[in-house]
Chain A
């Protein structure tokens, strides 16, 4: 496989995953803001910007921190890279560059996701927002389904690798920011629980129902953290994403017959994450733990680029 093709597939995976994550985050934040009994208002949107690392870019626009402005910014902003529209445009550019490597269905899903933004942008009330978000989720889901129907070769491995690396980053960031907001320094884990806030996290990783199945003792911060950190059953947990990274890299190693730096890093990390106990992490400092993981993920990303000669 051409190195350029591999790089495009990897980035395609990352951008699709990111668009999907942003869509879920907007949806969950919207619920928190307008659909819950006690509206979280401005704070909800501020944290959405923080999770997506868009705080500075949004401030630079000089727009007021309102639902409509943040939604427009996250959904359809064109003058900053951190919007769903821009993610999908980048995903589509990468997909176009490797058009031959994708099945028609996979391409059509990406193209259709991109075309969503051709219309429906004049007004962004909650109903319209949910319609766009649902459409994006539908197409990214369609893309994932199409990828699963493609040949299980290097093409799909690179897409899955990109998705897994991106997912690791997204989940770590989501947990880090939300945890910070919900339990400011000095407050103890296990204090009064803002159910709506914690539910938002679960919604963002599509795990509301899953949570009930896995934890019989109810919605506690420790349980939510445990779910996102170490439950391999949840596809968006850090345990699952780091394992998926290893799986994708192993498939690539099997095809090429060689392994490298990225394989070693990913395996070491996965072994460590698998052994991590939630209680210990909370005691030692969740924020530090997540920051270290995010930095390590960035190093792994660089190692992947070196190993497959992306540049």
Chain B
């Protein structure tokens, strides 16, 4: 792998020059001295630090606010690539929505034996507490971050679905700000679709799912765990960009199944909550009786149809790693067609045959905890030490149902500025998919994460990953249908699918 990986700018092996469409970018890279690139990169990072675009690393003490390293070399998607991606993403997110409607409703997919029932009903992410509740407009997964990896020009795979509270969209926006400021010449060379409409789209999405009968202008808020949370900057950034209040649980109070926020002038009714707190800390009356955190009565207000919560409580069942391997079946079940975006091949260690294969091939596989995240609890076979492999072997034998395994993919690379100069580094991609009452939309951009260490496949910020701007190039003159800002839309299809499933 490593060496033969597909480079998204330099093409196949790097010997035959840049991909034809990107020769100008390649020339820019060659003509701009490393020192100049480094200067610009440092300037961007200084700005990020001044703005406080930081994240806290759990387990480290006080001055542990770090910025995520920013790489000055952008990653580029062509217009036709983006159209195909958008189709695949819309299909997948529509299926996730339909799945959630079904699983907390009729459970057709279990009755028809497509999924093993114990996989759902015995899963900690399945929340029987909210079964039977229908969120306003039947939308569950309003904001999804679908993690993609690429192995070739046309080969994209879904690595992970994030249907709970995916973060990173502020980096998409701030990275673009930095690029426009520091490398304006690139925007003269390439027609890059704008991403700055994201906050407007998010607010439209929030308003579109407001409870029926709340009047013309629903009151929307962003709910944050507070300013010590690692993603607090993003929470405040989003609230600010949308011009709505950023609230903490203590600012909200539920009275007679109606949610209010406490203001200096008294209580103000709240209609739509974009929450960035986990289910566990939403409502102590329902999820965690031992917890002091949360808003007592919030779920009752939600059940009464008086407030919309984005994303819907209970979504964890849709992006659970144990469910992931069934996504092709789930997409097929609800959309009637094959998944346009394939999964990475996945071995479910709960199945004895798969477990045997995994144990026999540990050195070639990536093994993941079903309930882990952030790159923790993960074995990357090819780069792991013998001791680590053996530790995972023991863990797999002890609790196979907690693990899945995947082949190590030759992840695509993008030239990246590192200590030695510009060199290929592996990347992944998180586009943000919005689902409202009127359909699914994808902003033409996303978060590209890059593994800064040579050969590394781990892009998590907590594990030495960085970020890049992601350019989506606009089509030349009318080559595709698109709105002014290059945003593609799918309309209607989703409401139909959902209508049919309920």
Contact = CB atoms under 8 A, between A and B. Distances in A.
A258 B262 CA distance: 17
Given A100-B240, A107-B51, A111-B50, A1 B232 contact: no
B50 A2 contact: no
A104 interface: yes
A196 interface: no
Interface stretch (B89-97, B246-254, B361-369): B246-254
B261 interface: yes
Interface of B: 49-52, 63, 226-227, 232-233, 236-237, 239-240, 245-248, 250-251, 261-265
A257 to B, nearest CB: 8
Contacts of A96: 52, 227, 232, 236
A4 interface: yes
A256 B268 CA distance: 14
A179 B140 CA distance: 68
A75 to B, nearest CB: 17
Given A93-B227, A97-B226, A100-B239, A1 B263 contact: yes
Interface residues of A, number: 24
B251 A99 contact: no
A6 interface: yes
**Centre residue among B227, B237, B250, B264 by max chain A CB count within 10 A:** B264
A309 B251 CA distance: 11
Nearest to A89: B62
Contacts of A154: 264
A94 to B, nearest CB: 9
Given A2-B245, A96-B232, A97-B227, A309 B52 contact: no
Contact of B251 (A3, A107, A118, A258): A3
Interface in A44-101: 93, 96-97, 99-100
A107 B52 CA distance: 9
B171 to A, nearest CB: 16
A166 to B, nearest CB: 20
A4 B226 CA distance: 12
Contacts of B247: 2
B54 to A, nearest CB: 10
Contacts of A115: 49
With most chain A CB atoms within 10 A of its CB, the pick from B236, B248, B250 is B236
Interface in A96-126: 96-97, 99-100, 104, 107-108, 111-112, 115, 118
Given A1-B263, A2-B261, A2-B262, A111 B52 contact: yes
Contacts of A118: 63
A100 B245 CA distance: 8
Contacts of A3: 251, 262-264
Given A99-B227, A111-B50, A308-B264, 11 more contacts: A1-B263, A2-B262, A2-B263, A3-B262, A93-B227, A96-B236, A99-B52, A100-B245, A104-B51, A118-B63, A256-B265
Identify the 3 closest CB pairs spanning chains A and B, nearest first.
A99-B236, A100-B240, A96-B227
A154 B263 CA distance: 12
A172 to B, nearest CB: 27
29 contacts: A2-B245, A2-B251, A2-B262, A2-B264, A3-B262, A3-B263, A3-B264, A4-B251, A4-B262, A5-B245, A6-B264, A96-B232, A96-B236, A97-B227, A99-B232, A99-B236, A99-B237, A99-B240, A99-B246, A100-B240, A100-B245, A107-B51, A107-B52, A111-B50, A111-B51, A111-B52, A115-B49, A252-B264, A256-B264
A270 to B, nearest CB: 22
A3 B253 CA distance: 13
Nearest to B226: A97
A161 to B, nearest CB: 12
Contacts of A4: 248, 250-251, 262
Contacts of A2: 245, 247, 251, 261-264
Nearest to B224: A97
A111 B54 CA distance: 12
B236 A309 contact: no
Contacts of B240: 99-100
A96 B226 CA distance: 9
A1 B52 contact: no
A77 to B, nearest CB: 15
Nearest to A114: B52
A188 B190 CA distance: 80
Interface in A1-45: 1-6
Contacts of B226: 97
A3 to B, nearest CB: 5
Nearest to A256: B265
A103 to B, nearest CB: 10
Interface string A281-311: 0000000000000000000000000001100
